[in-house]
Amino acid sequence: MVEFVTANMAPLMFGALVFFLLMGFPVAFALAANGLVFGLIGIELGLLTPALMQALPERVFGIMRNDTLLAIPFFTFMGLILERSGMAEDLLDTIGQLFGPVRGGLAYAVIFVGALLAATTGVVAASVISMGLISLPIMLRYGYDRRIATGVIAASGTLAQIIPPSLVLIVLADQLGRSVGDMYAGALVPGLVLTGLYTGYIILTSIIRPASVPALPPEARTLRGWKLLLRVITSLVPPLVLIFLVLGTIFIGIATPTEGGAMGAAGAILLALAKRQLSWSLMRQAMDSTAKLSSFVVFILIGSTVFGLVFRAVNGDLWVEHLLTGLPGGQVGFLIVCNILVFVLAFFLDFFELAFIIVPLLGPVADKLGIDLIWFGVLLGVNMQTSFMHPPFGFALFFLRSVAPKTDYIDKITGKTIAKITTGQIYWGAVPFVFIQIIMVILVISFPQLVDAGRDKGPKINLDDVKIEIPAFDTQEVAPPFGAPAQPDSSPNDDIMRQLQGK
User: pLDDT tens for residues 378-427?
Assistant: 999 888 888 778 877 777 888 888 888 888 878 777 778 888 888 888 88
Ramachandran bin of 46, using left for φ above 0, alpha for ψ from -120 to 50, beta for the remaining angles = left
| Residue 500 scores a pLDDT above 50 | no
pLDDT cut 90: percent of the chain above it? 9
How far, in Å, CA of 241 to CA of 271, rounded?
10
> Could you say which DSSP state residue 370 is in?
T
More confident residue, 82 or 185: 185
Distance set, CA 136 to CA 81, 152, 243 (Å)? 22, 10, 26
| Per-residue confidence (pLDDT) for residue 204, from 0 to 100 | 93
pLDDT digits (tens, 9 = 90+) for 304-325: 888 888 888 888 878 887 877 7
Amino acid letter for position 334 = F
What radius of gyration, in Å, describes the C-alpha atoms of the chain? 29
| Per-residue confidence (pLDDT) for residue 479, from 0 to 100 | 52
> Could you say which DSSP state residue 386 is in?
G
Most confident of the ranges 122-136, 383-397, 440-454, 457-471: 440-454
Residues in CB range of 131: below 8 A, 6 or more apart: 88, 92, 110, 113, 114, 117, 153, 156, 157
Give the pLDDT mean for 444-465.
70
| Residue 198 scores a pLDDT above 90 | yes
Residue 156 in contact with residue 202, Cβ under 8 Å?
no
More confident residue, 204 or 133: 204
How confident is the prediction for the chain on average, in pLDDT? 81
Closest among 396, 457, 448, 404 to 178, alpha carbons compared: 457
Give the pLDDT mean for 105-111.
87
Give the pLDDT mean for 194-200.
93
How far, in Å, CA of 268 to CA of 80, rounded?
9
Residue 290 in contact with residue 337, Cβ under 8 Å?
no
pLDDT digits (tens, 9 = 90+) for 153-181: 999 888 888 888 788 888 888 888 888 88
Q: How many CA atoms, within 13 angstroms, populate the side-chain half-sphere of residue 142?
A: 22
